[in-house]
Structure 1
């Protein structure tokens, strides 16, 4: 399993959490990550409208030559985006576990404001356990 990074995007398209797990990703500025998260949010909204049959939740996987981006959309509109190697198939099982850690540590924290950047130590510890970073 090669995980490059994790993004959490709120329902308005703002990046509320970003962590590079592996040195395989280019180092970008915080502003560049914010722009990419907003762009992905827009692309996701467009792809949810493109489905020729029925309703769609939008793009779930975007693949490139050297990466795969797996998007997990929650019922509240929060997006969890895992960047992995193209051959990695663990994202489908890993993303629900990351969401569970988020629900247990961030959303149950009385000092966390929803839709705002995540600064919860318990979440960082759980991610380290899950992703080995």
Structure 2
């Protein structure tokens, strides 16, 4: 299982959580991550309008030559993005577990402000245990 990174993007397109795993991704500046998250948010919005058969929730998987981005859009508009190798087949299940950890550790925290950066040790611990 080759998982390179995890992003959480709020409903406005802002990056609220970023975590890299291993050496699969080059290290970017925080500003570059913000630009990438905003761009992906825009692409996702455009792809939700392109469906020839009616409504769509937007792109769910974007594949490049050497990586795959799997996107989970929640009912609140938050996007969870998992960057993996092309051969990764469990990305959807992993994103569901990340979403559960987010609900338990972040959204149940009375001190967390929705749509703001995630600063939760509990969430970090759950992500670390999930990805090793």
Q: TM-score range by the shorter chain?
A: over 0.9
Alignment: residue pair count = 132
Question: What RMSD in Å do the two structures reach over aligned CA positions?
Answer: 0.5
Q: What TM-score, normalized to structure 2? A: 0.99
Distance 1:35 1:102 in 2: 23
CA displacement, residues 76-112 of structure 1 (integer Å, 9 cap, x when unaligned)? 0000000000010110110011000000000000110
CA displacement, residues 33-80 of structure 1 (integer Å, 9 cap, x when unaligned)? 000000000000000000000210000000011100000000000000
**1:56 maps to what in 2?**
56
Structure 1: 5+ residue runs without aligned partners? Answer: none
Distance 1:24 1:8 in 2: 18
Distance 2:6 2:24 in 1: 13
Task: Give, in angstroms, the shift of residue 118 of structure 1.
Answer: 0.2
Q: What TM-score, normalized to structure 1? A: 0.98
**2:95 maps to what in 1?**
95
Distance 1:104 1:43 in 2: 29
Matches within 5 A, 1:1-133: 1-132=1-132
Distance 2:102 2:48 in 1: 24
Distance 1:7 1:22 in 2: 15
Distance 1:102 1:87 in 2: 26
Distance 2:96 2:24 in 1: 23
Moved over 3 A (4+): none
